[in-house]
Structure 1
Amino acid sequence: MMKQKGSSGRAVLLYNLDHSERGRKIKFILIRMGVRIKNIKKEDYLKPIGALAGLPGIVAPDSVYEGPGFMEEMLVMKGFTGHQIDDMILRFRKEKLDKINLKAVITDTNKTWDSITLYENLKEEHEQMTGQ
């Protein structure tokens, strides 16, 4: 019996990376690593992160986000080990890609958050870490 793709396996949610050379390079690296990629559109920002990543049991509301959104790049990982995250970051560096400041792993805490809530938390955390 084949393992069903989607709920199992690694996936990355990408924000604001779909129309650039940088985005193409990042996607190429992720594909070579065997990672499923999902570009998140602004209208989906109200859906829970877990639903966007295909986690079972998390239902997305039918509401459509109509606010200003955010322009920063954001990367959200599902199903990665610490070693796999390190490998991904190393591959980005080898391609001389600047780091993506807003990165997260899906957790029990944030899987029910929407993209805006996750973004605001990551941005605040990044600013605290960099002293901005």
Structure 2
Amino acid sequence: MNTQPAVLLYNFNDPDRLRLIRRYLNRQKVKTRIVSTPEFLHPLGYLFELPGFQSSPQFNLGANFTDEMLVLKDFSSEQMDSFLAFFHENQIPSVALKAMLTPVTQHWSSLQLHDELSKEHKLMHK
């Protein structure tokens, strides 16, 4: 089983910010994938290239989000702490919507995860 840490990156439109984040992840030997809008309906397990997952046969006809989002896979708690500290130490604004891949969310599309994270974020910041 592939347990190399990996991350999906969504909507990182600032090229300097993206470059800093990708450089950090590369140094940490974390596999990165930038997810584009046409891929938002595929299961997260497929985007992470997990065995047994297929692409979605549906076309994304406008379902979209524009805020940044991170999905992390196989990060240890030390790796997670280090990654979050990297943002703080380099004065890079943190990413509001972030999640770890779970046995449940690996079956979700990026849109489903984004909707769920957005709801949680709004509840936590009321």
TM-score range (shorter-chain normalised) is: over 0.9
Identity of aligned residues (%): 33
Letter in structure 2 aligned against 1:39: I
Which 4+ runs in 1 deviate beyond 4 A? none
Aligned to 1:86: 81
Question: What runs of 5+ residues in structure 1 fail to find an aligned partner?
Answer: none
> Which residue of the other structure, out of 12, 25, 33, is the alignment partner of 1:30?
25
Q: TM-score, normalised by structure 2?
A: 0.93
> Which residue of the other structure, out of 54, 62, 74, is the alignment partner of 1:67?
62
Cα deviation, residue 33, structure 1: 1.0
Q: TM-score, normalised by structure 1?
A: 0.89
Q: Distance in 1 between matches of 2:87 and 2:24?
A: 8
Q: Distance in 1 between matches of 2:25 and 2:99?
A: 15
Aligned to 1:97: 92
Aligned to 1:125: 120
Q: Distance in 1 between matches of 2:51 and 2:89?
A: 35
Question: What runs of 5+ residues in structure 2 fail to find an aligned partner?
Answer: none
Aligned to 1:50: 45
What secondary structure sits across from 1:116 in the alignment? helix
Cα deviation, residue 62, structure 1: 3.2
